[in-house]
Amino acid sequence: METQGAAARFHRAELLQVLYEKSMGEVHLSHRFVSYEDVGSEVILKFENGVTATCDILVGVDGIRSTVRRFFLEKQGHFMSPSRNPYWSGAYAYRGLIPVEDLQKEFPGHNGCKEAMMVRCPRA
């Protein structure tokens, strides 16, 4: 996927599948991440069960309460960043996928047939 510096949107499951398929090493499951140390030539990962692993690049895809993000922000001195400990804003997000063929059939020429769309509804 070439984005030339732009943001790209795709489903989380697709990201995980690509990371798994393109991984040159091992994928570790059932490990709770605790911390990392960037030593220049590699990143040393530390897990709650005492296991350590190394990698070239650490990608944090561990969810809204991301330990990777929190640890990264703390290492950078961003202890007060709102991204460090996200909280519920009171808004709900629902998402769904509609096959483009079905959308085209119901609404010929709809913009969603040409590009990804996001619809945001105001709070009631």
> Tell me, what's the pLDDT at 8?
59
What pLDDT digit, counting tens, does each position of 47-95 carry?
A: 999 999 998 888 777 777 888 888 988 888 888 888 888 877 777 767 7
Report residue 37's pLDDT band, with 50, 70 and 90 as the boundaries. very high
The better pLDDT of the pair 102, 9 is held by: 102
Which range among 9-13, 32-36, 97-101 shows the weakest confidence by mean pLDDT? Answer: 9-13
Phi, psi of 67, deg, nearest 5: -70, -35
Residues belonging to the active site: 95
Report residue 3's pLDDT band, with 50, 70 and 90 as the boundaries. very low
Report residue 9's pLDDT band, with 50, 70 and 90 as the boundaries. low
* Gap between the Cα atoms of 97 and 109, Å rounded: 18
Terminal CA-CA length for the chain: 38
Secondary structure (H, E, C), the chain: CCCCCCCCCCCHHHHHHHHHHHCCCCCCCCCCEEEEEECCCCEEEEECCCCEEEECCCCCCCCCCCHHHHHHHHHCCCCCCCCCCCCCCCCCCCCCCCCHHHHHHHCCCCHHHCCCCCCCCCCC
As a whole number, mean pLDDT of residues 8-26 equals 76
> Tell me, what's the pLDDT at 51?
94
> Tell me, what's the pLDDT at 50?
95
Greatest alpha-carbon pair distance for the chain in Å reads 57
CB 15 within 8 A of CB 61: yes
